[in-house]
Amino acid sequence: MDYRDVEWKPRRSRKGYFLSGLIGVLVGAFLMGFFFPYVSGQSGSPFGWQQNGDGQASQGPLKTVNVNVNDAVTKVVSNMSDTVVGVINIQKSSFWEEGGEAGSGSGVIYKKKGDTFYIVTNHHVIKGANQLEVSLHDGTRISANLVGSDQLMDLAVLTVKSNKIKKTAAFGNSDHVKPGEPVIAIGNPLGLEFAGSVTQGVISGTERAIPVDSNGDGQTDWNAEVLQTDAAINPGNSGGALINMDGKVIGINSMKIAESEVEGIGLSIPANLVIPVIEDLERYGEVKRPYLGVGMKSLADIASYHWQETLKLPSKVTSGVVVMSVEPLSPAGKAGLKELDVVTSFDGKSVQNIVDLRKYLYQRKVGDKVKVQFYRSGKKKSAEIKLSQTDRYGG
């Protein structure tokens, strides 16, 4: 045997073996003491296992978690549900026929005066009705009276009397609404069978402009400013409430884009636009809007050939409203406006088209004085107009 191939190792003493063994015993005892409660099924076991009478492992009792459902949403719904009602439109085909329900929508009880309660809903909900009824939260149906309605803003006011009504809703400041803010819609989608339905979402956008044809001539007369939400709003929700987390009504739901390729777009009339309209409806039965007394056409709708040849406009003028006719005793007529004048500014705001002009006009009140700038035969002029009232929509 060649001892050169053998590695030499020093021999360990008996004392070294003894110390190593003692340390191992101590470590093992510590680990058993630490883990034994867990593996034996005692309280605190991460696996929840216990031993039964036969010494077999079994799962211990499961713990339940209590969730407090009385959160902000349920509190708002609980407080506001009684203020949202169903509105039933009853129409008769002829005088000898019984009235039939032509449709239904929703409404919001917003005011009490004496023993009378006031309800705001949409104009299209009550349009053509021979009789109106309101369905309360508990299903009670009572007769309602129409105070007035406004087609342009799609709003109407009803009154009812009932000792079963205990609450009224309060309006919030819709100018403070921000995209992403959580909201709740309450109404009666698809009829009274789904009365008091609640949907939740967020504000998707503010100051959305939706074109409105008020007189049915196929031309846009007005851009309605609305709040956009993804809270589900379906037929029957019209006239219902859009509510913030403070329990305030920030909008009256009016319509839904129902194209097959569009989902989650609901529209609501902002509360700050609703309030002055319903105040006029309460007071006068109609909305008193100022008017100018002119026939109008957007410059963009006139062939560009006439911009210089007929209207004599400077090349820099590419937008505005052309005066097509003037009523002699109207505010515009008294201020000196004439046919073929091109209005480019109203009340200090640039006018791009008819929709702009009507928007600025309807923001003013009867009796206000406004400054109008316009071009006549290529020359820039201005006039001050004192606004008066008319019973029709238009300029």
Any idea what the CATH number is for the domain that residue 134 is in?
2.40.10.10
State the residue range of the domain holding 313.
290-389
Least confident window among 24-38, 136-150, 181-195, 264-278 = 24-38
- What pLDDT score was predicted for residue 228? 92
Q: Which residues pair with 253 in a beta bridge?
A: 268
Catalytic residues: 124, 154, 238
Half-sphere exposure of 248 (CA within 13 A, CB side): 12
Burial class (CB in 10 A: 0-12, 13-18, 19+), 323: buried
| Mean pLDDT of the 205-214 span | 78
Last residue of a domain, one of 226, 251, 284: 284
pLDDT at 58 over 60: no
185 and 144 assigned to the same domain? no
Say what the pLDDT of residue 254 is: 85
Confidence (pTM): 0.70
What pLDDT, on the 0 to 100 scale, is given for residue 39?
Answer: 46
Task: Please check whether residue 112 is in contact with residue 118, taking contact to mean a CB–CB distance below 8 angstroms.
Answer: yes
Burial 181-218 (b: 16+ CB within 10 A, else e): bbbbbbbbbeebeebbbbbbbebbebebebeeebeeee
For residue 2, what pLDDT band results from cuts at 50, 70 and 90? Answer: very low
395 has a pLDDT exceeding 80: no
pLDDT exceeds 70 at position 46: no
CATH number at residue 327: 2.30.42.10
Residue 31 in domain: no
- Based on the fold, state whether residues 84 and 107 are members of the same structural domain: yes
Residue 49 lies in a domain: no
Of the residues 235, 253, 284, the one at which a domain ends? 284
| Residues 282-304, mean pLDDT to the nearest whole number | 91
Considering the domain architecture, whether residues 238 and 198 belong to the same structural domain is answered as yes
The verdict on residue 4 lying in a domain is no
% residues pLDDT > 70 (the chain): 72
pLDDT of residue 207: 80
Q: How far apart are CA 270 and CA 193, in angstroms?
A: 27
Tell whether 188 is covered by a domain: yes
Asked if 331 and 292 touch (Cβ cutoff 8 Å), the reply is yes
Co-location of 298 and 384 in the same domain: yes
Contacts of residue 42, defined as CB under 8 A and 6 or more positions apart, other chains included, come to: 50
For residue 102, the model assigns a pLDDT of 67
pLDDT over 60 (residue 29): no
- Residue 275 sits in the same domain as residue 377: no
Same domain, 308 and 246: no
Percent of the chain past pLDDT 90, that is, above it, reads 53
pLDDT in tens, 91-131: 876 555 555 666 789 999 999 999 999 999 999 999 999 99
Asked if 317 and 267 sit in the same domain, the reply is no
Examine the domain organization and report whether 276 and 296 are in the same domain.
no
Domain match, 295 and 384 both:
yes
Q: Return the pLDDT at 219.
A: 66
Domain count, the chain: 3
* Residues 275, 190 share a domain: yes
Res 6: pLDDT: 38
- 236: tokens are 């029957």
Tell me, yes or no, whether 327 and 279 share the same domain: no
Residue 259, in any domain of the structure: yes
| Tens-place pLDDT, residues 13-26 | 555 555 555 566 56
Where among 284, 311, 339 does a domain terminate?
A: 284
Residue 253: which of 262, 261, 243 has the closest Cα? Answer: 243
Backbone angles phi, psi at 5, to 5 degrees: -90, 0
**Span of 63-77, 99-113, 243-257, 347-361 with lowest mean pLDDT:** 63-77
User: How many angstroms separate the CA atoms of 269 and 170, rounded?
Assistant: 15
Residues 144 and 128 in one domain: yes
